[in-house]
Structures are given as C-alpha cells and as structure tokens.
Amino acid sequence: MRARAALAGALALMLAPFTAEAGTVRVATWHLALEGTGPGLALRDIERGTAPRLSAIARVIGEVAPDVLVVQGVDYDLGLRALAALRDRIAEDGPHYPHLFALRPNTGWPTGLDMDGDGRRGGPRDAQGYGAFSGQGGMAILSRHPLDRAGARDFSAMPWRDLPGALLPRWPDGRPFPSHAAQAVQRLSSVGHWAVPVRLPSGPLMLLAFHATTPVFDGEEDRNGRRNHDEIRFWQHYLDGAFGPAPARRFVLIGDANLDPDRGEGRRGAIRALLSDPRLRDPLAGLATVDWPQTGPLRVSYALPSADLTVTGAGVHWPPEGAPGRAAAEMAGPHRLVWVDLALP
C-alpha cells in the first residue's frame, strides 16, 4: 500500500503544474512546526534568520506558490509580528502575501485546573490545548487575496461537551475524566476551528480551517483520541447546520486532522466519514502528507473542496529523489505541503 501511495504521489507531482493556471486559485496547507520554546522566541529566530529550517520552508512555498496558504505550528502574538516576519521571509524567495489572518489559539491557554488527570496543575497539558505558553503553535492564513475578517467565524471557544454525541472521556468507574470541573470548561478545539471567507473576483471562497490534537500521548481514558475524533466530527455537524448557517458551496475544508484514515493510531470513524461525505471532494486520496520515523508515511493533512468546485490540479509537494527541490523539502521537516487548484470563474 505504501509503495502504491508513493508512486501515485510521485506521478501526481510530475503531472501537476507548479503554478496555478489562469482563472484558478491555488489553496494549500502546511504544518510548519515553527513553534518557539518560549514567548517571542520564534519571532526572534525569524528576524535573525537563525531558524534552521526557515530557508527550506521559504523555498518550498516559493516553488508551489499557493494563492492562499493555511499554516499550522506558528506562534501567535497579538500584533501578528511573528506571522508578518514569516511572510516577509517567504517573500524573499516566493510570493508576497499582503493579507494575514490569525486568532488566538487554545494552545497554552491556562485553565487553572488539572486537565490531564496527573494530579498537578499548570503543565502544558493542563491548558485548553497543549502548549507551554499561550499562543504556542497556533495556526494562520496567508493570502494574496483579501480576507473577510468581519465575516469570519471562530468556533474555538465552544465547549467540547456541547458537540452532539461528544465522546467525553471517563474513568473506569464511569466518572468524568479527569473531573466534572475540567469537563465543564474544556473546549473542543485544541488549536482552533475557523470559517474564513476569501474575497475573490468571482465571489467568496470559504476556508474551513482547523488543527486537531494528536490522538496519542494519553492513557486508557483515550482523552486525546476521543478529542481528535470529535474535532474532526465537528465539521459534519457544522455543514449540517448545527452551529448556525453553513456554506452549501464554494468552500474548502483544510488543515491538519492529525489522523490517517487507514494507518497509525486513533479513532478513524470521523475522518472516514468526512472523506466519504458527498458534499466534499478528495483529490488526493491515499497520499501521505507526513513521514515520522516512529510511524512511517501517514496522511494527516487535508484539502477537501466542496463538491460543486472544479479541481484542475492537486498534489503533495514531495519531489522524487534527486529532483530539484527534494533537498529543500526534506530540510523543511517531516510534514509536506498539500495543495489544490480550483477553477473559480
């Protein structure tokens, strides 16, 4: 299976254009994993040029040249200084993105409670989403086209228990894990769930962006596995209208689900249901988007256009061995940039 997926990925990359055709928009997502170890340190490293993978990341983005790029693993600050510095570094080797969007993520957001059941408070797993400090490893959008801030919706503050059919964790005796108090404040989003309109000449394109928690690094209660499942399941409830008006057309569900539908650990029901939803297209079925040493190739990042959109190209950026750009792709990290071209007359 892995050999077939690798071959399919190589063919997709060789046949697909590296610049979007006229009349199309290229939308991409990439988990950059550029988090700093403390507040402001990522900004410092970007400005000083000391982030070791930054040049490789900028080169890859320059080669693919997406019109709209959703990224994960970028620290959030109120003035978006780190994001702006990253944008300026990308512009040295590739496209300039005049429009930036980011909201405070749940990562590192303190709760004052023991959220992981270890009997202690104040650790990175006791925040609303894993993080050593508030804003660590957030997500953001960089765009050549204007973003409708007033029309954006942020679902990141929704309590986990408010999701229909929520798979809340429990102790073996049936008590809420880790406590009633923790579940009363626990948000569903580990990072965020956003609906952000992109203003295109032909009309708005809605980005449904998210970054789900990893489904591992927990105990028998399967707190992370259950939360990952529900973060993914959120989108079908949203499209069903459970949380207010939802787009019926011209949208892309995009981000890092942290889950492969066939391989690795996790509860696969939600991602399989999402990929088979008739309201969505899956132009990159079976292609790996990350290669961790401990797991091998997995598909965790997704760009799923709505069924009404015409897909003119799609790919996972991973040039064949020895091809130009392969060294930069490897240096950029284990995650791979995922892109899709959409015809939007």
Domains identified in the chain and CATH numbers: 2-343 (3.60.10.10)
Q: Which residues of the chain have pLDDT under 50?
A: 1-17
- Determine the pLDDT at residue 345: 75
- Determine the pLDDT at residue 199: 98
Q: How far is CA 71 from CA 101, 137, 184, 254, in A?
A: 11, 10, 30, 10
How many beta carbons lie within 10 A of that of residue 249, not counting itself?
12
pTM of the model: 0.93
- Determine the pLDDT at residue 11: 36
- Determine the pLDDT at residue 20: 57
- Determine the pLDDT at residue 21: 59
